[in-house]
């Protein structure tokens, strides 16, 4: 396989995947990973509903909306079952160890901290510089003291969630496809499109659903590029982590996944005009984060 010079590092991730790069193995692996994820999730949720007893219907509504810290921890940490599913698929179908999908451990740690450092600085600058609201004052969602007490566990829960998605899309699917197909149109675009489908929620986003799904597709393409340049999943995990920390722990939408946020935005996901007005800002910040991560891993 002839790789673009910028993507030479991708070979470190692809070499272990080549012996079992058949498409039918990938499909079987995805079925197994999905089965593990669904079975574990169903078992956990049924156990929680049984524990709640008569309060189960109310608890279910809270869990679906993610309006309390406990509900958010359950939702975010449940993504660990996705990582487990990929690990099982790698072992059963591809005879591969899970660490191979992450890349070299020392390089992974170095790139993770380098990208996180530069993204933290960028986010701090954005919070310090005007404007200081989103067209209307932000609404306090919990006290600063309570938020800080929960913050260590909250950061861990978000990390579990984003790393699971990166392991599945930019790790397992991208690596197995790239080991089989030379063209980035396959190994970059297919995982990105699947990622976008997973973010298509017309029942919540209304007329903005397509634009939000497109945002996810572009995000997937940029994370695929980062992974191929870096030779580890660390930069993609770091960018995804900072994006979700901002959207889940700092300023969340009031009608969805707000249980751990310090503030909630002055508009909801169903507010078509307000969300549409902020989507270009999100696209712009996504590009800035991608470029900053590329700079960080060149050092």
Residue 273 belongs to what domain range?
A: 5-297
Q: Provide the pLDDT for residue 1.
A: 46
Pairing mode, strands 251-252 and 263-264: parallel
Q: What percent of the chain has pLDDT over 70?
A: 96
Low-confidence ranges of the chain (pLDDT < 50): 1-2
Given a contact cutoff of 8 angstroms between Cβ atoms, the answer to whether 241 and 120 are in contact is no
**263-264 sheet: strands from edge to edge:** 139-140, 263-264, 251-252
How far is residue 207's CA from residue 213's CA, in Å, rounded to a whole number? 11
- Helix %, strand %, coil % of the chain (to 5): 80, 0, 20
Sign (positive/negative) of CA torsion 102, 108, 113, 119?
negative
Distance (Å, rounded) from C-alpha 109 to C-alpha 286?
22
Number of domains in the chain: 1
> Rounded CA gap, 75 and 212, in Å?
21
Q: What is the pLDDT of residue 135?
A: 63
Which pLDDT belongs to residue 134? 64
Per-residue pLDDT reduced to its tens digit, 255-278: 788 999 999 988 777 777 777 778
- d(CA 139, CA 254) in angstroms, rounded, equals 9
CA terminus-to-terminus distance, the chain: 27
Give the pLDDT confidence score for residue 76 in this predicted structure: 97
| Contact yes or no for 227/235 (Cβ under 8 A) | yes
Contact assessment for residue 94 and residue 179, using Cβ atoms and an 8 Å cutoff: no
Which of the 8 DSSP states describes residue 10? G
Beta bridge partners of 252: 264
3 state SS of 265: coil
* Rounded-to-integer distance, Cα 74 and Cα 33, Å: 20
Cβ atoms within 10 Å of 259's Cβ, excluding its own = 24
Number of residues that make up the chain: 299
Query: Which residues are CB-contacts of 7 (< 8 A; sequence separation ≥ 6)?
Result: 184, 228, 229
H/E stretch holding 40: helix 23-52
């Amino acid at each position: 396989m002839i790789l673009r010079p910028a993507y030479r590092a991708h070979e470190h991730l692809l070499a272990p995947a080549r012996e079992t790069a058949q498409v039918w193995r990938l499909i079987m692996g995805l079925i197994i990973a999905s089965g593990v994820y669904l079975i574990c999730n169903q078992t956990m949720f049924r156990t929680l509903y049984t524990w709640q007893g008569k309060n189960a219907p109310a608890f279910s509504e809270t869990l679906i909306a993610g309006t309390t810290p406990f509900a958010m921890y359950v939702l975010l940490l449940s993504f660990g079952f996705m990582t487990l599913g990929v690990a099982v698929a790698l072992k059963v179908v591809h005879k591969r160890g899970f660490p191979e999908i992450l890349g070299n451990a020392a390089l992974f740690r170095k790139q993770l901290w380098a990208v996180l450092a530069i993204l933290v600085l960028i986010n701090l600058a954005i919070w310090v510089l005007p404007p200081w609201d989103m067209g209307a004052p932000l609404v306090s969602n919990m006290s600063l003291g309570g938020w800080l007490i929960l913050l260590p566990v909250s950061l861990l829960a978000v990390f579990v969630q984003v790393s699971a998605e990166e392991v599945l899309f930019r790790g397992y699917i991208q690596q197995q496809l790239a080991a089989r197909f030379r063209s980035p149109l396959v190994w970059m675009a297919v995982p990105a499109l699947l990622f976008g489908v997973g973010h298509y929620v017309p029942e919540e986003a209304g007329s903005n659903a397509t634009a939000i799904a497109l945002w996810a597709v572009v995000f997937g393409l940029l994370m695929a590029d980062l992974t191929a340049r870096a030779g580890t999943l660390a930069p993609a995990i770091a960018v995804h982590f900072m994006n979700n920390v901002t959207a889940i722990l700092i300023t969340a939408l009031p009608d969805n996944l707000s249980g751990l946020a310090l503030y909630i935005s002055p508009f909801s996901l169903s507010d078509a005009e307000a969300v549409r007005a902020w989507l270009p800002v999100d696209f712009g910040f996504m590009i800035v984060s991608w470029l900053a991560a590329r700079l960080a891993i060149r050092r």
